[in-house]
Structure 1
């Protein structure tokens, strides 16, 4: 039986539906229909904190052990893409918004379950597939998943992991630096205190100090990513700016905390502006949305990104879910060395808040995510389908036996 065309149809039908984060009603319906098509019982789960946001779930079986496989349905906007954002095939690649991040992973999960059901495989446990809401923005789908499935024996996020099993993921510190200077007329050399120069110096110092290699539990040394994302300041060329604000994204690892990083950042900033006249820096946490607006204090976005925070986690490689996926990857000819997810996905909540063994495994590469020509390699996609099929069976069988 040639499963490739049918497996690819799940990918094509998901990508064909626009699902920009926050406008996801159509893709929720399509995903529900695909779940029904592969034999899953479905239900909708409204997401706490965000009106109108809904997770769609497909369930197979009802006994223990319980394996939860998750993927977000939303994407970034379609504007600016150099390929058909709703899907086109070129050679062995399928292009479009969400192909790799991450409709491809969710489609591969559905294709794997479709193969298991059509072949009459009886699974000794329960599989739950969750299409989550608004991962790119408010993260409410992942938060709701954690409330609904904190009793799972294993959770897998189908984000693109280059076909490797990632047992850890970074946290994300939403950093804001406010530089305060002394306004003056620009015609007087050295007058005032230039807030833009102070902000520039502080941001560079933070990047230089924190772009370091850290020993990460279970996975070894990893380089921290620090990005300067937005800078705003000044009013006109003849005026020495008295205010400038910079927003950065600082990734951190398990066993680190946002509080400790903030202490380091404050010390770095104070040191770098100590020799600059008429300026000071204040460091705080604040997250901007994709239109450049800060989430208001007390809002859901502020709760997720700042008050609660986007935390790091690491899962013990000896757990059943890690072993099942590593075996499946190896059996399909892949590299079963454990890895770390470079990005952040919405299974972090269930991993950190409820200590459920959680991993990332998905076809595609995160390097193609959020790009103008986003794509997924179809050979990698089909390998992903085969890995999910093998790993689901092994996990449920071995976890049942234990």
Structure 2
């Protein structure tokens, strides 16, 4: 949608130069998972320059606690990829920032940092979301639940994400005796392939069923062959399955294991699915704020997994996920963010945060 088509929002939201400058600095500071330190330091400096106490904790999260009526949190890390950082000025007067993380999720992250210093709510920039959510796990272990949470991921400035599928990941391992390839008996490699085919058949769905409601299956690595002594054939396969809210991780793991005809599966990661009500205080505040800024709120469900899954599993409080950017550009080689969307997202988040701090003051 062009800026001209969004005139109602443009007329109400001025250019937010502070947010744009912070985002450009943070995007220009590479932070692939495991190397978030420099970008985290930029955020700490930003908070300190506004008189807010901030630090990095034991795992590298940026912590800036304050008014816990609302916690704004997003992730500092990105997937690998070098996209030259630049701002393109278009003929229609709009500016677009290119760079790894501009959408996933430094746009949401920097919008939240700016709103946190303006409204006095709590903030956390977490590490490792793209790998194992270690920052989010550390956060929920180290602090009490806030009154409400907004997790930062791209939803579009007028979108509110209320649901994510869960995830389970495991490694299949099987060994068989070596033998001539003319033998009828299946070797470990064949057993692995046949097992995974049975798993995929179990989760074959009607083509019209929404992906969000499906279990989707994905092999992510496979290795096999003769052992060094030549006496056995080994096979390993790393697999991931996405879990819809209608099922639990245990449900899916039990089904996968039931299809074994030899070998074992060792589960090494599991994240429960999450689906929150559109009637919570957080969802309501976003609907009001988006309309105030000139938008028509969209309620979203994502087929992937995010730190919101971790927070929902640990904290019994209202929450949602929000942030500027087109999620179709997550991890993409053409990742970019229209800066007018950043301006709008900051305006929306500021209204939401102010709503919660005002409610706290009324109490």
Q: TM-score, normalised by structure 1?
A: 0.75
Q: Distance in 2 between matches of 1:149 and 1:323?
A: 26
User: 1:154 corresponds to which residue?
Assistant: 148
Superposed CA RMSD in Å reads 2.9
User: 2:5 corresponds to which residue?
Assistant: none
8 Å CA contact 1:150–1:356 kept in 2: the answer is no
Q: What is the Cα deviation at residue 258 of structure 1? A: 2.1
Q: Distance in 2 between matches of 1:336 and 1:159?
A: 16
Structure 2 counterparts to residues 2-401 of structure 1, below 5 A:
2-46=14-58, 53-60=59-66, 62=67, 66-78=69-81, 81=82, 83-84=83-84, 87-90=85-88, 91=90, 92-113=95-116, 117=118, 127-163=121-157, 164-186=159-181, 188=182, 190-210=183-203, 212=205, 222-235=213-226, 242-254=233-245, 256-270=247-261, 280-286=262-268, 305=269, 309-398=270-359, 401=362
Q: Distance in 1 between matches of 2:201 and 2:99?
A: 36
8 Å CA contact 1:167–1:317 kept in 2: the answer is yes
Structure 1 portions without partners, runs of 5+? 47-52, 118-122, 271-279, 287-304
8 Å CA contact 1:203–1:246 kept in 2: the answer is no
Q: Distance in 1 between matches of 2:194 and 2:341?
A: 43
Q: Distance in 1 between matches of 2:231 and 2:334?
A: 41
Q: What is the Cα deviation at residue 196 of structure 1? A: 2.4
Deviations 1:148-172 (A, max 9, x none): 4433111111111234211222221
Change over 3 Å in CA distance of 1:5–1:221 after alignment to 2: closer
Deviations 1:299-338 (A, max 9, x none): xxxxxx3xxx322222232221121112222333434242
SS at match of 2:356: helix
Deviations 1:35-83 (A, max 9, x none): 233453323332xxxxxx22212245x4xx61000011112223xx4x3
SS at match of 2:169: strand
Q: Distance in 2 between matches of 1:202 and 1:196?
A: 10
Deviations 1:348-369 (A, max 9, x none): 3332122122211111133212
8 Å CA contact 1:193–1:242 kept in 2: the answer is no
8 Å CA contact 1:69–1:158 kept in 2: the answer is yes
Deviations 1:59-108 (A, max 9, x none): 45x4xx61000011112223xx4x31xx2223443221211111111111
Deviations 1:226-260 (A, max 9, x none): 22211111249xx9982222111111133522222
